[in-house]
Amino acid sequence: MTQEDVARHLNALGYTQRNGKPWVGGNLGRRIEACLRGYVEFVFAGENEDGDPITTSFRIDVPRPLSEARIVQLRAAINRGKRTKGKHSRYLLSNRLVSVCGAHRTGGSTATGRYYRCMGGRVEGGASQNHEDCWELPVEDVDAAVWSEIEGLLEDRTTLHGLIAKWLGTVPARASSYRRRLVELDEQLEKKRGSRKRKIALLLASAEDGEDDAALIEELKAELRQQEEELLQERSRVADWLGDAEAQEERARELLHAVDGIDVSAESFTLDQKLDLLELLDVQVQVMDKGIPRHKGLVDPITEWHRENDVPVPAQLTGEMWDKVKDILSGTRQWKDVRGAFDVMLEKLRTGKPWNE
């Protein structure tokens, strides 16, 4: 399940956020990550007394609800699914298809099937230029057509290996540096803890029984704890970076294994591997036509006749056309402007627009 799937499931069971709002995938993922770490960290930006920019952070500890072994298993599962951003990620070419109007397309499903829909009329700010009549495209047909092109590229294993190496870039080197840094931080923490004990012991040995000495000891303890805490915070950040890098390396290994397989057909790749491959190749698909409107509900026999006989529905009635039909049609309380009403009907037949448009 994706994070979005889990969020929808929790909402359906009646579990909401503490403020009563429904869960969304990203927020749920952040809360899970906080539980696995064992703390929530807040960072505030501001200025000091001299006007210099500074950031201040503080941490709130939260209970860790699982055993360490179970946390490791859960982190591995989360890393495998980090690509998934939501329901549109379950469609191979979401946001990789560009309509003739210039807007991108995303995947969606209806009772009659799965389609790539143009987002030109749905994006903020209104419809894109010439968005009208960007019909939905069937997912299965489009995916099959695009993958048939990709299969030819998969035959060139050498080039693909080079692309995967380029895609990884400096990730392996950074992962190695993160591992070295973790070893260094662990050594510093061990030294810091040993040094703290020695410094406190020396101060206790030289201290007298005055209040000033007791306050000095507490001040030293607080300072040493703060230094240790800063090292722990850095170690946590580096560990997170290493986890991300290792997850990307694992994705690359899985992709290489799939590419090196004997069969390069679509069936030999999982959806996640296909998505990784499309990202690797930076595939963008330009849709060259507005497509054919699909039937929604009952088929209109007049539209069907025009389509079967390849006769276009007139864009606008001429006087000669109107003279042929005006005696057949009559006005009603609804349609007093009979010619105008007939023009509207022809427009609907020609474009497939809903009545409210």
Residue 304 pLDDT more than 50?
yes
Q: What percent of the chain has pLDDT over 70?
A: 78
Global pTM reads 0.39
Cα–Cα distance between 342 and 350 in angstroms, integer? 12
Q: What are 155's two structure tokens?
A: 């035959």
Q: List the single range of 53-57, 125-129, 164-168 with lowest mean pLDDT.
A: 125-129
Q: Is the model's pLDDT at 289 over the cut of 60?
A: yes
Q: Helices (DSSP H) in 48-119: which residue ranges?
A: 68-80
- Under 8 Å between Cβ of 144 and 155: no
Q: Are 243 and 194 within 8 A, CB to CB? A: no
The pLDDT, as a whole number, for residue 345 is: 84
Name residue, tokens 């998934």.
Answer: 84
Q: What is the mean pLDDT of residues 327-340?
A: 78
* The pLDDT value given to residue 337: 83
- Of residues 320 and 278, the one with the higher pLDDT is 320
d(CA 153, CA 159): 9
Note the pLDDT of residue 143.
Answer: 92
86: burial class by Cβ within 10 Å (0-12, 13-18, 19+)? middle
pLDDT for position 296? 54
Sheet holding 285-286, edge to edge: 137-138, 113-118, 104-110, 97-98, 285-286
pLDDT score of 142 more than 90? yes
Query: For residue 335, what are its two tokens?
Result: 């349609």
Q: In whole angstroms, how far apart are CA 261 and each of 93, 133, 253, 283?
A: 23, 42, 12, 22
> Does residue 205 register a pLDDT over 60?
yes
Q: Is the pLDDT of residue 18 over 90?
A: no
124 has a pLDDT exceeding 60? no
pLDDT value of position 163: 76
**Cα separation of 248 and 234, whole Å?**
21
- The rounded mean pLDDT for the chain is 76
